[in-house]
Amino acid sequence: MKDEVYARRVGRFIEENGLLVRGEKVLVALSGGSDSVALLRLLLSLGYCCEAAHCNFQLRGDESERDEQFVRSLCRQWTVPLHTVRFDTLHYAEEQSLSIEMAARELRYNWFGTLLEKGELQAVAVAHHRDDSLETMLINLIRGTGIDGLTGIAPRNGHVVRPLLCLSHQEILDYLQEINQTYVTDSSNLEDHFVRNKIRHHLLPMMEQINPSVRSSMADTMEHLRQVADLYHHAADRQLQQLTQLSQSHQATEGPIQLSIQQLLQSCSPQALLHELLAPRGFNSTQEQDIFQALTGPSGRCFYSKTHLVLKDRELLYIEPSATPAPPRLEEEHIPVTEAFIPSRSSQVACLDAAKLKHPLTLRLCRQGDWFIPFGMKGRKKLSDYLTDCKVPLHQKRQQYVLCCGEDIVWVVGRRIDNRFRIDASTQEAVIIRCLG
């Protein structure tokens, strides 16, 4: 029977891709539509222990209520534990400046993550099928993409698994008809103002007029490209490990990266390697082009994504998180100055004349135009020039903290005090400030 054939195909796909483990609970994202209903029924027939999760996004009025009631009835019928949630999707989309589609996606997957954190579920199974993967590839192709965007939807993304990628939408409908299983239809799937629906209703049927087996041939092509992408990433990882000299993967975005521009430009496909470094850190294709061109330009150019900065400093390229560095912890002590007093020479300790200070002292990051009078000198010096003389890389200059008395810099923390606040022969009380980290 057809239903058994489809079940065997899905079971084989799950095993070949290591998606699920028998005996452990899996959470099925259940909208009530044909695809998610088929996913639940197939997993139950294969003997998997299922729970279901239904999101009511409150976007389609009575239709949304109908979907939720259908899901409740279906889960009661098959004794499947059900988790439900309601979202004010419109408010969330407005608050986060997102499209309705992206807002619903964020809400949905954030909630799934919360359910998984309870530790009783091994994965979330979602009902993407082969046609969804084809549509995703075409969307990416239309918008512009790299090799990964041409591989469609992956069978696994973290804890999210997609057991139905081996079936087409028509095969899913055939399966449901074979087992006499009803489902609900989302009317928004019939509207053409979504890009995906335009591809589904118009572009793919037009392509089938040229090649009736286009869906199958595209699926084969995506599988070939997936294998090519694996080879590409393996080779890129090896080159990037050599360039960055990091023990961890370059995909670990929390730490800084420093690499030689000359070595990068001499490597195979330097622009592709740069993309592998920048894309995971939020830089778009236009920024990537600008950064690549800046490699052969003057020093000092800086580029920002929402999470990272890229800085060209002489022969090096720095890539690091753009979050403000944690301020150093300072400890203050007041002691009388006697003949036995010897000021510390450590750069991590500032010895200052208490009479020359006005409290409270303030700690801040350095700013453009800052100046001070370095200890032992009489003239003013720009802080940026002082840090350059100290051979401080440009990206570290932006992380330099200074201790101030009013508008005056008292101490370039961890480096040098200002000569105006030094201890001299008339000093009676010293303020000792230690940098603890």
One domain, residues 180 and 314: no
- pLDDT bin (cut points 50, 70, 90) of residue 192 is low
Task: For residue 405, give every residue at least 6 positions away whose Cβ sits within 8 Å of its Cβ, in sequence order, or none.
Answer: 357, 358, 361, 421
Does position 61 have pLDDT exceeding 80, yes or no?
Answer: yes
CB 67 within 8 A of CB 56: yes
One domain, residues 392 and 299: no
Please report whether residue 232 resides in a domain.
no
Please report whether residue 411 resides in a domain.
yes
Q: What is the maximum span of the chain, computed from C-alpha positions, in angstroms?
A: 101
Closest CA to 12 of 56, 42, 33: 42
Please report whether residue 227 resides in a domain.
no
One domain, residues 149 and 17: yes
One domain, residues 266 and 289: yes
One domain, residues 305 and 368: no
Average pLDDT, the chain: 91
Structure tokens that stand for 334 in this block: 């007041």
One domain, residues 194 and 260: no
What is the Cα–Cα distance from 16 to 239, expressed in whole angstroms? 30
Judged by average pLDDT, the poorest of 58-62, 121-125, 181-185, 286-290 is: 58-62
Range of the domain at 66: 2-211
Last residue of a domain, one of 194, 211, 228: 211
One domain, residues 180 and 154: yes
What is the Cα–Cα distance from 149 to 134, expressed in whole angstroms? 11
Structure tokens that stand for 195 in this block: 């890009």
Radius of gyration of the chain (CA): 31
Tally of domains within the chain: 3
One domain, residues 354 and 387: yes
SS3 94: helix
Residue 309 has a CB neighbour count (10 Å cut-off) of 19
- pLDDT bin (cut points 50, 70, 90) of residue 249 is very low
Closest CA to 161 of 33, 4, 7, 16: 16
Does position 246 have pLDDT exceeding 60, yes or no?
Answer: no
CB 112 within 8 A of CB 31: no
One domain, residues 12 and 120: yes
Q: Which pLDDT does position 103 carry in this prediction?
A: 92
Q: Which pLDDT does position 60 carry in this prediction?
A: 84
Identify the residue whose tokens are 């996004």.
57
Please report whether residue 231 resides in a domain.
no
Last residue of a domain, one of 259, 287, 321: 321
What is the Cα–Cα distance from 257 to 266, expressed in whole angstroms? 18
Q: Tell me what the mean pLDDT of segment 157-164 comes to.
A: 95
Judged by average pLDDT, the poorest of 235-249, 338-352, 408-422 is: 235-249
